[in-house]
Amino acid sequence: MVDGKGKQDAVSAHDAGGKLAEGIMHIWRTQKSLVVLLFVIVILAFLSEHFFTVYNLINVARQTSIYAILAAGMTLVLTVGEIDLSVGSNAGFCGVIAAYLLKRSISLPLVILIVLGVGLFIGMINGVLTAKIGVPFFVATLATMSALTGASFLITGGYPISMLPRAWRVFGQGYMWGIPVPVILMIATFIVLQFIQGRTTFGRRIYAVGSNPRAAYLCGINTDRIRVAAYSLCGFLAALGGIVMSSRMDAGDPSAGSTFLMTLVAAPILGGTKLSGGEGTVFGTLIGALVLTIMNNGMSLMNLNIYWQDLARGLIVLGVAIPQIERRLRR
Amino acid sequence: MNDNGPTLLKVENLTKSFPGVIALNNVTFNLLKGEIHALVGENGAGKSTFIKIIGGVLQPDKGTILYDGNILSHLDPRRARSIGINIIHQESELAPTLSAAENIYMGREPTKECKWYVDIERMNEDAQEWLDKVGADFSSKVLVRDLTISQRRLLEIARAISMDTGLLILDEPTTAFTDQEVQRLFQIIRGLRNLGVTILYISHRLQEIFSIADRVTVFRDGHLISTKHIKETQEDELIRLMVGRELRAVVRDRSKPIKNTNSELVSVSKLTKEGAFNDVTFSVNKGEILGLTGLLGSGAGKIGQALFGLVEQDSGTISLNGVQVNLTSPAKAMYHEIAYIPADRKLDGLFMIKSITENISLASLEQLTKATVIDLQNERTEAKKYQTLLDIRAPSINQIVMNLSGGNQQKVLFARWLMKQAKVLILEEPTAGIDVGAKQEIYDLMSGLAQKGNSIILISSDLPEVLNVCDRIIVFRDGRIVYEIPGDEATQEIILHHSTGLCNPERKEERQ
């Protein structure tokens, strides 16, 4: 911003200096994960000759895509100050529904529409349960998580529905302009969500509700509706993730997604989203998700036991979360 | 002052300041063993700071406190309690899901030989004894959430005396009590005095003080003004001592003509809400600043909330420009160009971790958007405009509001509603905790808005503020309007007489 008026020149010069410092501080405060990401990449590039290959990097991006799409939705719910525990099982359920419908020879576009609608509807149920009825989010989404997992197993009889039509594979296994389709979907998701968060009234209101729900209400915001919308969008993205997941595995697996929760919370936290609500960006979440996959990838390349990955993830989340708590106390 | 008998608490030159205010200024105070001593004063006079220091909640800047002959320093609530100083706060500090006995013995439960094992039978029996001592009519096994407010108060007193209390401090203990409950509480307090407990009693209600206290001390603007024997003073004198407060801020300039006077903008008719307000009728003109005042819980605040759709009335109507409106939510009130600045700006008004810009623009986002996309450039320009207009002092408009001073935070809230172009402003305690300079700026702002034909409803318990800013003042007591007076005819005495419920101020004035 430049102030043209003469008498304000001194002010704006001071402003500019302040803004630069503020900008640097802002990057460090909000983009710590980006710094961590670069750090991890540099380390891994030294440790493994396989890391910096096009093949591996594309692989990393593809591995990230499902987590990242789901974590983007989770970020919205975290930003209003709540957690949706059911995202993973919602994705799994949507994958099962997709497989079930495909097996009954329903046309592919219709399947996509139905599945996205189902995901959205499940998200909306979570939102209505918490915002309108007042069930604590932990209880409500824990319940839907369990119910959805149960429903997935009932529909499939416990076995994955496999041998899906070839055309379905495009979402998880296809390429466009040499880039894996899931990666394109992931990038598209993040562009749209970042725009919603940063530029629209809805995005602004999500932050307001998460930052101070009572003040938001006193600003005339329908806080219930914002919460329901955040959960619904999260459910929609769970469905998108579920579609990619079933396509990638070429099956509707009832147990898919059930182990995602830790990653889906870890990625936003790493990316600067606060569990207390009101702060965080989906861009940060994308970086957070990349950090997590790259670390897993690096550990795989170095032939480390897979259980190290869980241990490392837990430690990383604590390492990011604890300094946040300290800052809160000092305030 | 008559200093007979041994001294329990001796306070010398106690001073405590907060940013922008000196809450206690060189206070020297003497409390005799076994007396019931009342503290009175307006809101912000320093009473609660004083008891918080004695109870170890706050640390004084300077001064000495002698309790039972020992100097107290670096006091904390735990230690204060251990030497026998117990405060019963206005807000109950009990755990609602635990029993009365568990609350009495919280943190010091009687145990069996094994220290890990609570002796529940003994705890219930011992607690019952304490409850009986204060004349409680409920069992020690009952859950606190099932008790009435006055029963909870008794439970807190029982807990205090079970801790071997020498000094019991009661802060407005009779809020929400019936007359009968007040009388019973007084019996209990007298009983405690006979057991040797010294009592410091804070109340707004002067009648109560005359029926219970032995001596009374008046606070005003952080100074201890006077200590009197209750038999040697009268209500008039106490009120005069309480209100001798000078106003440093400049009086509102009423000389300029106000546009559109005598055209009603808001009118409220027979508004009733069970337990909050009763049969309230008044109106506000364009260009008028109307003051609603009263003691804590008088209903003035609730009326303000009802006008912003936060409290739904049981009966009665609200009209704007003569048209009846149904205000069921803040969004509806905002649609009718009503704005509200809550008493607690941090808790209810601001988004502390968000920027000045975002805090100002949030209520007006529709004005700044094209097809739900926010025009960020326009948002900045508009926010800047109001920052300059209200002189919100911050290094940048991107500064998060947490880092602003109280006065600047309040200006951010004003900017929010100016951007929204509200016509009716409801302000609840708008200058609480704000320094004198910023107060003056806010008064000027209010005057300017009224000049432009807006209506302002000021809900405040700060009497000098109400007297100096308002064109008209309405006094509330127990949810009802009890008095109405033009601003330039009102005095603090008249308003206090009506808000405390002491009758016939005119007659008393004649006597003076």
Query: What is this structure's pTM?
Result: 0.78
For residue A202, which residues of chain B lie inside 8 Å, CB to CB?
A: 372
Beta-carbon separation of B369 and A18 below 8 A: no
The whole-angstrom separation of Cα B422 and Cα B188 is 52
For residue B353, which residues of chain A lie inside 8 Å, CB to CB?
A: 211, 278-279
For residue A199, which residues of chain B lie inside 8 Å, CB to CB?
A: 373-374, 376
For residue B331, which residues of chain A lie inside 8 Å, CB to CB?
A: 220-222
For residue B366, which residues of chain A lie inside 8 Å, CB to CB?
A: 201
The whole-angstrom separation of Cα B49 and Cα B38 is 15
The whole-angstrom separation of Cα B484 and Cα B472 is 7
For residue A208, which residues of chain B lie inside 8 Å, CB to CB?
A: 351, 354, 358, 362
The per-residue pLDDT string of chain B (512 residues; one tens digit each, 9 = 90 and over) reads 445 678 899 999 999 987 666 888 899 999 999 999 999 887 678 888 899 899 888 889 989 999 988 888 888 888 888 889 999 887 778 888 999 999 999 888 888 877 788 888 899 999 999 998 888 889 999 999 888 888 888 899 899 888 888 999 998 888 767 777 888 889 889 988 888 899 999 987 777 888 899 999 999 888 898 899 999 888 878 888 887 655 444 455 554 445 445 688 888 988 898 888 888 999 998 888 999 998 877 888 899 999 999 988 899 989 888 888 988 899 999 999 999 999 888 888 999 889 999 999 999 888 888 888 898 899 999 999 999 988 888 888 888 888 888 888 999 999 999 999 999 999 998 887 777 677 888 888 898 888 888 999 999 888 888 888 898 999 998 888 988 888 888 888 888 888 877 654 444 443 33
The whole-angstrom separation of Cα B141 and Cα B117 is 18
For residue A278, which residues of chain B lie inside 8 Å, CB to CB?
A: 351, 353-354
For residue B356, which residues of chain A lie inside 8 Å, CB to CB?
A: none
End-to-end CA distance of chain A: 30
Q: Does A309 touch chain B (CB under 8 A)?
A: no
For residue A216, which residues of chain B lie inside 8 Å, CB to CB?
A: 351, 362
> Helix (H) and strand (E) counts for chain A?
14, 4
Beta-carbon separation of B330 and A218 below 8 A: yes
Q: Are B463 and B492 in contact (CB under 8 A)?
A: yes
Q: Which of A227, A111, A96 is nearest to A160 (CA)?
A: A96
Q: Are A252 and A95 in contact (CB under 8 A)?
A: yes
Domain ranges, ordered by start, for chain A? 48-330
Mutating which of A202, A212, A281 best tests the B interface, going by the most B Cβ atoms within 10 A?
A212
Beta-carbon separation of A217 and B330 below 8 A: yes
ipTM of predicted assembly, 2 dp: 0.78
Q: Which of B169, B133, B137, B166 is nearest to B150 (CA)?
A: B137
Q: Does B371 touch chain A (CB under 8 A)?
A: no
Q: Does A331 touch chain B (CB under 8 A)?
A: yes
Q: Is B127 left (phi over 0), alpha (psi -120 to 50) or beta?
A: alpha
Q: Which residues pair with B340 in a beta bridge?
A: B426
Q: How many Cα neighbours within 13 Å face the side chain of B400?
A: 12
Instruction: Read off the tokens for B172.
Output: 């407005």
Among A1, A199, A215, select the one facing B351 at the smallest CB separation.
A215
Measured in angstroms, the CA of B131 and the nearest CA of chain A are apart by: 37
Beta-carbon separation of B362 and A199 below 8 A: no
Chains A & B: contacts with CB separation below 8 Å: 83
The whole-angstrom separation of Cα B174 and Cα B168 is 15
To the question of domain A48-330 being in CATH 2.40.160, the answer is: no
A143-to-A85, A136, A139, B167 alpha-carbon distances in Å: 9, 11, 6, 52
Beta strands B198-202 and B36-40 are parallel
Q: H or E segment at B121?
A: helix B120-133
Q: Are B215 and B230 in contact (CB under 8 A)?
A: yes
Q: Does A15 touch chain B (CB under 8 A)?
A: yes
End-to-end CA distance of chain B: 24
Beta-carbon separation of B354 and A211 below 8 A: yes
Number of CB atoms found within 10 A of residue A209's CB = 29
Q: Are B293 and B459 in contact (CB under 8 A)?
A: yes
For residue A279, which residues of chain B lie inside 8 Å, CB to CB?
A: 353
Q: Are A183 and A289 in contact (CB under 8 A)?
A: no
Q: Are B88 and B156 in contact (CB under 8 A)?
A: yes
Among B331, B362, B376, select the one facing A208 at the smallest CB separation.
B362
pLDDT tens digits, B378-416: 999 999 999 998 888 888 888 888 888 888 899 999 999
Measured in angstroms, the CA of A315 and the nearest CA of chain B are apart by: 27
A7-to-A103, B34, B40, B398, B437 alpha-carbon distances in Å: 73, 68, 52, 21, 25
Q: Does B331 touch chain A (CB under 8 A)?
A: yes
3-state secondary structure B305-343: HHHCCCCCCCEEEEEECCEEECCCCHHHHHHCCEEEECC
The whole-angstrom separation of Cα A134 and Cα B230 is 53
Of A42-51, A60-69, A92-101, B363-372, minimum mean pLDDT range:
A42-51
Q: Does A10 touch chain B (CB under 8 A)?
A: no
The whole-angstrom separation of Cα A154 and Cα B69 is 77
* B:235-254 residues touching chain A, CB 8 A cutoff: none
pLDDT tens digits, A95-120: 999 999 998 888 899 999 999 999 99
Q: Are A84 and A141 in contact (CB under 8 A)?
A: yes
Instruction: Read off the tokens for A142.
Output: 């824990």
Residue of A nearest to B397 (CA): A15
Measured in angstroms, the CA of B273 and the nearest CA of chain A are apart by: 20
Question: What 3-state DSSP class applies to B147?
Answer: coil
Q: Does A202 touch chain B (CB under 8 A)?
A: yes
pLDDT for the residue numbered A154: 93
B465's CB contacts (< 8 A; 6+ apart) are B247, B249, B431, B439, B443, B458
Q: Which of B176, B401, B132 is nearest to B275 (CA)?
A: B176
Q: Which of B294, B274, B275, B279 is nearest to B205 (CA)?
A: B294
pLDDT tens digits, A238-258: 999 999 999 998 888 988 888
